[in-house]
Structure 1
């Protein structure tokens, strides 16, 4: 199924480019076509199984800068939480390996 979605990417590439240029004209820098594409796919997969060209283009062109930034913020918070969980787990492992049973300091 994933291949079906990816087959549309070259076809809708001009819409993706247009959306990136639109966001850049609004002052948002470092926007990548792949990010717009991935966000569009995630949104469409919530509502349908098979892609349709008009739906893909409509989803891309109707994406708002606010929605894009909100998604990037959520992803950022998730990465911070994953790193925190990773750091806590690493600290526990190091304490066990070193034989140190000291309590963690928060």
Structure 2
């Protein structure tokens, strides 16, 4: 599978990304952004060994849960992959507070 396939569809997925960001923010995850939702959704899709049709691609984002999102954000934070993770410990504490609050 060509790993660049998904990036081509990113612009087409913009309405879904906005929808998911709004959903997560309404549930109290104010830090949710389109890029974080994109990364969380694409993480599982990149592991698919076969071609993923566009309708399955969209469906996987529509089915993205808060749990999937927070798992991705937490793991990324521990790996230091998130933007703005300069202070490390303070950001992780903030993230854990957000997780424990929900």
Residue 18 of structure 1 corresponds to which residue in structure 2?
A: 19
Residue 63 of structure 1 corresponds to which residue in structure 2?
A: 64
Residue 40 of structure 2 corresponds to which residue in structure 1?
A: 39
Alpha carbon RMSD of aligned pairs, Å? 1.8
Equivalent position SS for 1:11: coil
Aligned length: 80
Determine the C-alpha separation between the residues in 1 that align with 2:50 and 2:35.
20
* Structure 2: unaligned runs, 5 residues or longer: 81-85, 87-102
Query: Relative to structure 1, is the Cα distance of residues 78 and 55 closer, same or farther in structure 2, using a 3 angstrom cutoff?
Result: same
Structure 1 residue runs of 4 or more that deviate by more than 4 Å after TM superposition:
none
Determine the C-alpha separation between the residues in 1 that align with 2:49 and 2:15.
23
Task: Tell me by how many angstroms 1:49 deviates.
Answer: 4.2
The TM-score, its normalising length taken from structure 1, stands at 0.66
Q: Deviations over 1:36-90 (max 9, x none)?
A: 11221221111244342111111111111112112211222222xxx9xxxxxxx
